[in-house]
Chain A
Amino acid sequence: MMGWYTFLIVMHIIGTALGAGGATISDLSFFRSVRDGKVDRSELDLLKTISTAIWAGFGILVFSGFGFFLLYRIQSPELGLIYNPKLFAKLTIVLVIFFNGLIMHAKVFPLLGSFVGRPLFNSDFAKRATIAFTTGAISIISWYSALILGAWRGLDWSYGTIMGIYIALVAAGIIFANIVGRQVIKKLGANQL
């Protein structure tokens, strides 16, 4: 008979797989769309479907994550497992994933929707695409950071160290995504002339 701990582990893994996997495919699909110079309706619908899977994964992750907190609280509070720098760092990153996802819904999907059927190699898209490149970078780095932190047994770094490395990675990712993204749009524009 599967105990609660094993059940929660399984659910947590499923949530992470859907979330990290979905974020990976989503970013790849987005860059593929940008690379061919247009976003058509089917590409946008695919991104929305992947987004739904990511949200489902996120929900499973959060519910199972709090399931672990409740298990520790009820069964073994004396171990003091919750006040753990790695856990707090993971919680912080999960918060970033959450609000980043909401911003994507508020800004990125409407942006792509407004460019369906229109060419992307123009200054209007280049100016507005910063939000897409930035949220995409934050999403992928955050999902993999949370995955690594969850899997890395015995990590005993402080909260400050973990978050310092995470912020540095996110900053680098944002810069890289925007540089590469703009280069692709510039190249597109040159190819079309």
Chain B
Amino acid sequence: MEHRQKAVKSFAIGAVLTAVFVAAVTIAAELVPPLKTWLADTFTHHWIGKSVLAAAIYIGTSIIIFAVPSAGSQEQARKSLVALFWISWVVVAAITGFFLYEAF
């Protein structure tokens, strides 16, 4: 059970980091054109680059966090899910707000 709780915590934190990455790379790529160009050159399209890197971050960080020796607990799992809930909304607001500002 503890292993499962730790796994949930790891995936939730992985999702938090992924969401933050998506917001950061999205905004950065618009403000720093060479970044967008690098993503397009490396992955054939900037959006594919963001998708691939997001998936890699989710899987990679989840595995790393799980591998770090620590005990799992239901409370830690719950707190990480709550953090994911709030961060998701901040990320959605940031991306939406940024493009609203850019467009108008």
Q: Consider the complex of A and B and state whether they touch directly, i.e. have CB atoms less than 8 Å apart.
A: no
Q: Which residues of B are interface residues toward A (Cβ below 8 A)?
A: none
List the interface of chain A (C-beta within 8 A of B).
none
